Amino acid sequence: MESNTYLESQLVARDRTIVELQDKILASVELLKKFRLENKNLKVELQKALRARDSPLPYFICPIQEEVMQSPITAADGFTYKEAAIRAWLDGGQETSPMMNLSLEHQNLVPNPALRSAIQEWMESSA
């Protein structure tokens, strides 16, 4: 009789241990699912950040040729263009701003060294 009670108490204790272990396993599985989702979200964010880093900033793009400017030049309209593009525009007889379609006060073109440096820095970091 006494051995049955002892065995029953051992079975109850074992069953309790099994239930506790099952609860811990379920909690661990849920935690793993959460970490997997966080990892997936972080990968997506990293990919977005890498694409953004590799994409030129809008003001690096020539409004005439729609490509990254190598030698940015500022015209009388205050806009900056790729040197070859604005020179071709003006050499073609245009006397208006490519952006505003208003007459340019003059055809003097001024280098934009700050923008050129920023573009070069971006190109080096993206390579």
Helices and strands (DSSP H and E) totals, the chain: 3, 3
Query: What share of the chain in percent tops pLDDT 70?
Result: 98
E strands in the chain: 72-74, 80-82, 110-111
What pLDDT does residue 6 have? 86
| Claim to verify: residue 24 and residue 44 sit in the same structural domain | yes
Average pLDDT score over residue span 61-68: 97
Amino acid 49: pLDDT: 82
Give the range of the structural domain holding residue 111, as residue numbers without chain letter.
58-126
How far apart CA 10 and CA 8 sit, in angstroms, is 5
Per-chain mean pLDDT for the chain: 93
Tell how strand 110-111 and strand 80-82 pair up. Answer: unpaired
What is the percent of the chain with per-residue pLDDT over 90, rounded to a whole number? 76
Structure tokens belonging to residue 96:
């208006």
Confidence at residue 40, expressed as pLDDT on a 0 to 100 scale = 94
Average pLDDT for 101-107: 96
Candidate from 52-61, 67-76, 112-121 with smallest mean pLDDT: 52-61
Both 67 and 92 in one domain: the answer is yes
* pLDDT band at 1; cut points 50, 70, 90: low
Q: Do residue 63 and residue 114 come from a single domain?
A: yes
User: Are 104 and 75 contacting, i.e. CB atoms less than 8 angstroms apart?
Assistant: yes
Number of domains comprising the chain: 2
Secondary structure of 3-33 in the HEC alphabet? HHHHHHHHHHHHHHHHHHHHHHHHHHHHHHH
Q: What is the Cα–Cα distance from 10 to 43, expressed in whole angstroms?
A: 49
Does the structure show a pLDDT above 90 at 82? yes
Q: Which amino acid is at 95?
A: E
